[in-house]
């Protein structure tokens, strides 16, 4: 049991007791499942342990993990961010297009980051101040951002990084001490977020408002600015994930927005054990969830399962995870909001 | 100047604005305006937009789309959300095509199979959301992908085979391309669906349950509704309706494209919310859905025509969705504030100068302390005895604010019991010839309690007036009653615009919002006899068998209304200018009448009544507690002759012993006093009153009903 989860349990003695005596927490089960699957795939799938595959696996896991970290921060604060993938693709496209027009790549990346923060602040404003349910706001913002990307920012779906940017490609392809840089990035980000959520006041506030927004507000926590901050964090995570993606394939393909990556991210968060009711879970849940889902995705690709069938399987698993989540974390009618659907 | 004010408030229907806004259908103004705006805009850009051919094609699209939006609206109304409609639409399309083209089924079997597939998809959603209580948004988002994947897998296998075969059925093509009475078939079916669902949602039990569940899930559960099943059924219907739309799409185009229904869910959601269906449920209608569908369809169609790229148009649609959701959220949150600001609509009213009340002035209203010596009954044991009355065995009855009728046993009135429980807040009471106790119940209507304690509803509604915006058929605040010798019950309803606890708002308006109503037990009919009265309150038969007296509280006057005889239908003022606000009227043993003044006028409020603008600002800008109120802390009892001459008054200046008088009843030489906010009943010995006189015997005759 993660200690963050223990802190956030409702002050219900009986439940707390039974949970504590229950050794196999969701996090642990998922971690064991991931390990078992790794061994299983190593033994049964011929190509699984090839270096090329492991690099692909690790890179995908890093991207998925970065996105999931962003989603986790929002979900802990009782929201959902469905705009992650759109923001990821379009922000990097902005940077690449600018770079191709002659701007220095570092500056272009900064502009891309600025774009992300701008979108996140607008989004956070819509959720926190206008009080649009996060799920609608992020869905609509995703389609607006994607529409801007396709219609205004770039003419093509795929935009290639200009040549001669080895330092950038190093992010996606290089390795330090034999471990890919993308994994370093993921690990570092995870550590920073862990410290942030666990040891800073604002991090604790995010748990508080995810647990019970009204109470948090009455307590005097500045809930609205913190909600905006959540979306900024998730936007920056999306930007990092985009950078890793772009660095590894030297381009950014906006069609990824139409794929089901965002559901993989949701799957990681829900399977990892971060309840959608908010206020529970942490970085460790994301790490184990990412490992499990990354493995599954990779194995399905190796097994040559078609894209549509993969979607079918993934969404069936996600549905199952939602059912389990609903049974484990029943929704609290006391703090459920109007329009919280 | 004041004359202009008077004329303005007399003839300008200012209260209409608030009344229209208080109706649920007023939400439709905004989407209806949007429809006109969008149509006007694109008509101005492209006059060919509304050519006949284009209209026919558009109406077929509109038929399919509006069915999907109606489905979305149903789910939204119950507090859910169904994003899988686009995929279900696609699945229905492919199902219909397989049944027609590959299996060669007849059209009816195809239609049945398609609808069944849709209902099944809906049932899965409904089970997960209704019974397992998973979030609607995520669940349907996932089923959207699952169903879409299934469609893709089927397409991969059968798309070529489907396009190779041409179904051999005229009826099938008639469904897709035929016209009936000059209108496309699918359009007619859509109209039928819309009408049926309108009736279901507004008139049928299922629709009311839906609205109740969406409006307040827990309240609906507590009221005994099967919430889970209701939610479940909304998704089943949503799936079936989306499948129906897909069926028409299949018949119209016959194509098994992979982009069928992609993005339909967002468009449908945008349309439903734009029409005014609330996210979170409880507010929505079929009309709203259809209006939203028209706007969104014209918008998307026109964007294609103008040649806006797919990316931009989806961005525009997303922006529209954001905007309408934002408006919806803010409107829901602030609607009651707006309504509060505009609903209260004070009117102009001028009272004559107040009569003299100073002690020693010689006026019949001169202050004195005659009520100070009342003895108290039931002090601290009852709450809110608005009226008091006696049966033939000298037992005392009074209502309380919990909805009970309390009976104190004579002759000392120490012991009491709950005689009957009605509910609401019982107010005025009267015994009829057969000793039934007839009671006006605030919030409920007119009730009768038989001597063996059976509670019966006599009436709770009257004829609705033709041009009234608010529904004035329900009785909101039945106040006091008396019974004519022929058994007809005449009672007052104080106001049709406010509930009982908002009486202060009605005082602030001082318009004639009240009315007199007659209930005829011979045929059970209820009808309104006199309208536009200023808080009509006490009612008492004048004793001639053809007229009664009634008090208009905020009008500070007592009137007489003739319901029979030569002057039938006439209403005359008997006591025009009281120093306070009259409440109940009752008979006195000497042939005169008692009236209670519940509160006293003050020069400040009298002046404010002539300044409607001032009162409007007061109502909107400051808290209710800070308003200029009618003073109801001090009151008195008056005695007046049938001709309207006031004879005497009895006051309790300190208000310690009996703070408020809303009613009094003379019984065997004593006067018994009730007060709406009191916790006691007062009893005062009357000098020189007939010690055997009872109102009951006097009016209805002796114990055996013989007169």
What is the tens place of the pLDDT at every residue in B311-341? 777 788 888 888 877 887 787 778 777 877 7
Q: Is the Cβ of B264 closer than 8 Å to some Cβ of chain A?
A: no
Q: What is the pLDDT of residue A9?
A: 42
From residue A151, how far is each of A111, A305, B373, B649 by CA, in Å?
19, 33, 88, 85
For residue A219, the distance in angstroms to the closest alpha carbon of chain B comes to 22
- Mean pLDDT over B181-192 rounds to 84
Interface of B with A in 350-409 (CB under 8 A): none
Q: In this structure, are B325 and B416 located in the same domain? A: no
B2 found inside a domain? no
pLDDT at A333 over 50: yes
Q: Cβ contact (<8 Å) for B318 and A140?
A: yes
Least confident range from A121-125, B210-214, B276-280: namely B276-280
Do B409 and B543 fall within a single domain?
A: yes
Cα–Cα distance, B381 to B379 (Å, whole number): 5
Domain stop point among B319, B340, B361? B340
Residues B161 and B205 in one domain: yes
| Rounded distance between C-alpha atoms, residue A76 and residue A230, angstroms | 9
CB contacts of A317 in chain B (<8 Å) are: none
Q: For B52-61, B227-236, B598-607, which range has the lowest pLDDT when averaged over its residues? A: B52-61
Instruction: Examine residue B355 and state whether it is found in any structural domain, yes or no.
Output: no
Residue A127 reports pLDDT greater than 60:
yes
pLDDT of B622 over the 70 cut:
yes
Answering whether pTM is above 0.90, one says no
pLDDT at B348 over 70: yes
Average pLDDT over residues B598-625: 88
Q: How far apart are CA A237 and CA B408, in angstroms?
A: 76
Q: What is the pLDDT of residue A36?
A: 86
**Quick check: A340 and B280 CB within 8 A?**
yes
pLDDT given for residue A340 in this prediction: 53
Residue B309 and residue B389 in one domain: no
Residues B309 and B444 in one domain: no
Tell me if B629 is assigned to some domain: yes
Answer yes or no: do B25 and B135 share one domain.
yes
State chain A's maximal CA–CA distance in angstroms. Answer: 64
Choose from B311, B328, B329 for mutation: most chain A CBs within 10 A: B311
Of the candidates A273, A265, A263, which has an alpha carbon nearest to the alpha carbon of residue A329? A273
Residue B333 lies in a domain: yes
**Tens of pLDDT along A211-234?**
888 888 899 899 999 999 999 999
Give the B window 195-234 contacts with A, CB below 8 Å: 217-218
In this model, does residue A195 exceed pLDDT 90?
yes
One domain, residues B295 and B423: no
- Same structural domain for residues B126 and B251? yes
Q: Which of residues 604-633 of B touch A (CB under 8 A)?
A: none
Percent of chain A whose predicted confidence (pLDDT) is above 70: 89
Mean pLDDT over residues A202-216, rounded? 89
Structure tokens at A68: 């999931």
Strongest mean pLDDT among A272-286, A320-334, B66-80: B66-80
- Grouping H, G, I as helix, E, B as strand and the rest as coil, residue A291 is helix
Q: In what order do the strands lie in the sheet with B389-390?
A: B389-390, B396-399, B404-408, B416-421
The answer to whether residue B172 sits within a structural domain is yes
Mean pLDDT, all residues of chain A: 82
CATH number of the CATH domain containing B308: 1.10.3470
Interface touch A323/B81, C-beta < 8 Å? no
> Do B230 and B115 lie in a common domain?
yes
Could you tell me the domains of chain A?
A: 25-328 (1.10.3470)
Which domain-ending residue is among B325, B340, B355?
B340
Name every chain B residue with its beta carbon within 8 A of the beta carbon of A278.
Answer: none
Total structural domains within chain B: 2
With 90 as the cut, is the pLDDT of residue A249 above it?
no
Nearest CA in chain B to A132: B326
For residues B408 and B394, what is the distance between their CA atoms, to the nearest angstrom?
A: 9
| pLDDT tens string B436-476 | 999 999 889 999 999 999 999 999 988 888 878 888 888 98
With beta carbons under 8 A apart, name residues in chain A contacting B331: none
CB neighbour list of residue B636: distance below 8 Å, 6 or more residues apart: B365, B371, B580, B596, B597, B649, B650, B651, B652, B661
Contacts of A145 in chain B (CB under 8 A): 315
What confidence category does residue A19 fall into, taking pLDDT thresholds of 50, 70 and 90?
very low
Identify the pLDDT of residue A30: 81
- Judge if B109 and B239 occupy the same domain: yes
Task: Count CA atoms within 13 Å of residue B193 on its CB side.
Answer: 27
Q: Are residues B446 and B484 in the same domain?
A: yes
User: Quick one: pLDDT at residue A71?
Assistant: 93
B410 is a domain residue: yes
Is residue B347 domain-resident? no
Residues B231-246: what's their mean pLDDT? 93
The yes-or-no verdict on residue A323 having pLDDT over 90 is no
Measured CA to CA, the distance from residue B270 to residue A261 in angstroms comes to 24
Model pLDDT for residues B370-387, shown as the tens digit of each residue: 888 889 998 889 988 999
A chain contacts of residue B307, beta-carbon cutoff 8 Å: none
CATH number, position B459: 2.120.10.30
Residue B569 three-state SS: coil
Q: Which of A136, A147, A341 sits opposite B135 (nearest CB)?
A: A341
Answer whether B79 touches A (CB < 8 Å). yes
If one compares B259 and B207, the residue with the highest pLDDT of the two is B207
High-pLDDT (> 90) share of chain B, %: 36
Peptide bond into B262 cis (omega under 30): no
d(CA A207, nearest CA chain B) in Å? 20
Same domain, B522 and B603: yes
* Domain of B327, in residue numbers: 15-46+63-340
Q: Where are the alpha helices (DSSP H) in chain A?
A: 3-8, 13-21, 26-44, 51-76, 84-100, 105-128, 134-148, 166-173, 181-199, 201-211, 213-219, 223-249, 261-272, 283-302, 307-328
Residue B53 lies in a domain: no
**Could you tell me which of B118, B318, B223 has the C-alpha nearest to residue A136?**
B318
N-terminal to C-terminal alpha carbon distance within chain A: 29
Residue A10 has pLDDT above 60, yes or no: no
* Three-class SS state of A59: helix
Among A137, A260, A326, the residue with its CB nearest the CB of B133 is: A326
């Amino acid at each position: 049991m993660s200690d963050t989860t223990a802190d956030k349990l409702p002050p219900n003695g009986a439940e707390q007791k039974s949970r504590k005596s229950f050794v196999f927490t969701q996090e642990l089960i998922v971690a064991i499942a991931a390990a078992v699957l790794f061994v299983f795939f190593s033994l049964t799938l011929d190509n699984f342990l090839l270096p090329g595959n492991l690099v692909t696996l690790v890179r995908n896991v890093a991207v998925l993990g970065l996105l999931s970290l962003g989603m986790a921060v929002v979900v802990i604060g009782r929201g959902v961010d469905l705009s992650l993938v759109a923001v990821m693709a379009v922000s990097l496209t902005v940077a690449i297009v600018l770079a191709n027009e002659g701007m220095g790549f570092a500056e272009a990346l900064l502009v891309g980051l600025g774009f992300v923060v701008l979108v996140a602040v607008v989004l956070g404003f819509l959720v926190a101040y206008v009080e649009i349910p996060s799920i609608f706001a992020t869905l609509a913002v995703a389609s607006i951002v994607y529409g801007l990307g396709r219609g205004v920012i770039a003419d093509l779906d795929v935009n290639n990084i200009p040549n001669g940017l080895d330092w950038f490609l190093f992010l996606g392809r290089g390795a330090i001490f034999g471990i890919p840089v993308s994994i370093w990035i993921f690990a570092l980000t995870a550590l920073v977020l862990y410290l942030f959520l666990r040891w800073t006041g604002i991090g604790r506030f995010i748990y508080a408002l995810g647990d019970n927004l009204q109470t948090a507000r009455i307590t005097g926590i500045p809930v609205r600015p913190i909600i905006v901050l959540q979306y900024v964090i998730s936007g920056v995570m999306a930007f990092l994930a985009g950078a890793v993606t772009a660095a590894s394939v030297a381009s950014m393909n906006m069609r990824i927005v139409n794929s089901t990556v965002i559901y993989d991210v949701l799957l990681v968060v829900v399977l990892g054990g971060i309840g959608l009711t908010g206020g529970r879970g942490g970085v460790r849940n994301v790490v184990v969830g990412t490992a499990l889902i990354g493995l599954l995705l990779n194995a399905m690709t190796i097994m040559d399962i078609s894209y549509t069938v993969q979607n079918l399987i993934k969404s069936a698993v996600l549905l199952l995870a939602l059912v389990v989540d609903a049974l484990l974390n029943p929704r609290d009618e006391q703090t459920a909001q109007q329009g919280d659907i | 100047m004041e004359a202009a004010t008077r004329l303005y408030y007399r003839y300008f229907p200012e209260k209409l604005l608030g009344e229209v806004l208080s109706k649920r259908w007023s939400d439709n103004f905004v989407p209806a305006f949007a429809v006109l705006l969008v149509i006007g805009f694109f008509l101005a850009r492209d006059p060919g937009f509304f050519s006949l051919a284009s209209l026919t094609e558009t109406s077929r699209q509109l038929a399919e789309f509006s069915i999907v939006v109606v489905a979305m609206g149903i789910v939204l109304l119950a507090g859910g959300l169904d994003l899988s409609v686009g995929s279900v639409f696609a699945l229905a399309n492919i199902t219909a095509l397989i049944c027609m083209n590959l299996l060669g089924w007849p059209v009816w079997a195809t239609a049945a199979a398609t609808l069944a597939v849709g209902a099944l998809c809906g049932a899965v959603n409904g089970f997960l959301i209704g019974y397992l209580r998973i979030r609607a948004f995520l669940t349907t988002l996932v089923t959207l992908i699952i169903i879409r994947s299934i469609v893709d897998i089927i397409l991969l296998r059968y798309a070529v085979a489907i396009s190779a075969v041409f179904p051999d059925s005229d009826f099938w093509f008639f469904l897709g391309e035929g016209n009936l009475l000059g209108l496309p078939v699918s359009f007619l079916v859509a109209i039928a669906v819309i009408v049926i669902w309108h009736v279901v949602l507004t008139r049928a039990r299922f629709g009311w349950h839906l609205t109740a569940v969406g409006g307040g899930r827990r309240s609906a559960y507590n009221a005994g509704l099967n919430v889970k099943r209701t939610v479940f059924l909304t998704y089943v219907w949503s799936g079936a309706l989306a499948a129906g739309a897909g069926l028409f799409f299949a018949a119209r185009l016959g194509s098994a494209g992979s982009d069928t229904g992609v993005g339909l869910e967002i468009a449908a959601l945008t349309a439903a919310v734009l029409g005014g269906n609330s996210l979170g449920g409880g507010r929505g209608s079929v009309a709203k859905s259809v209006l939203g569908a028209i706007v969104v369809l014209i918008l998307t169609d026109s964007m294609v025509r103008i040649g806006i790229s797919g990316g931009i148009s989806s961005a525009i649609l997303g922006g529209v969705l954001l905007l309408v959701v934002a408006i919806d959220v803010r409107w829901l949150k602030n609607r009651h504030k707006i309504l509060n600001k505009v609903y209260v609509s004070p009117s102009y009213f001028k009272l004559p100068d107040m009569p003299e009340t100073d002690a020693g002035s010689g006026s019949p209203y001169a202050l004195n302390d005659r009520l100070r010596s009342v003895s108290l009954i039931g002090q601290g044991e009852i709450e809110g005895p608005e009226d008091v009355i006696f049966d033939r065995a000298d037992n005392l009855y009074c209502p309380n604010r919990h909805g009970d009728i309390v009976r104190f046993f004579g002759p000392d009135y120490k012991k009491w019991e709950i005689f009957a429980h009605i509910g609401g807040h019982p107010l005025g009471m009267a015994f009829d010839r057969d000793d039934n106790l007839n009671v006006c119940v605030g919030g409920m209507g007119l009730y009768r309690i038989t001597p063996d304690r059976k509670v019966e509803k006599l009436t709770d509604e009257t004829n609705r007036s033709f041009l009234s915006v608010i529904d004035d058929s329900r009785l909101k605040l039945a106040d006091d009653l008396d019974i004519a010798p022929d058994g007809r019950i005449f009672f007052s309803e104080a106001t049709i615009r406010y509930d009982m606890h908002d009486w202060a708002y009605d005082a602030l308006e001082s318009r004639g919002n009240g009315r007199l109503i007659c209930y005829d037990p011979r045929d059970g009919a209820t009808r309104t006899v006199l309208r536009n009265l200023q808080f009509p309150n006490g009612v008492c038969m004048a004793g001639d068998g053809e007229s009664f007296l009634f008090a208009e509280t905020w009008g500070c006057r007592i009137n007489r209304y003739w319901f029979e005889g030569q002057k039938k239908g006439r209403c005359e003022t008997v006591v025009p200018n009281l120093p306070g606000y009259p409440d109940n009227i009752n008979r006195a043993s000497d042939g005169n009448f008692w009236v209670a003044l519940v509160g006293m006028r003050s020069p400040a409020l009298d002046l404010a009544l002539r300044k409607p603008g001032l009162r409007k600002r007061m109502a909107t800008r400051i808290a209710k507690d800070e308003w200029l109120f009618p003073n109801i802390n001090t009151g008195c009892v008056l005695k007046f002759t049938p001709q309207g001459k006031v004879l005497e008054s009895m006051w309790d200046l300190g208000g310690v012993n009996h703070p408020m008088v809303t009613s009094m009843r003379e019984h065997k030489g004593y006067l018994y006093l009730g007060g709406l906010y009191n916790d006691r009943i007062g009893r005062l010995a009357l000098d020189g009153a007939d010690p055997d006189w009872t109102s009951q015997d006097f009016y209805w005759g002796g114990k055996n009903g013989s007169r």
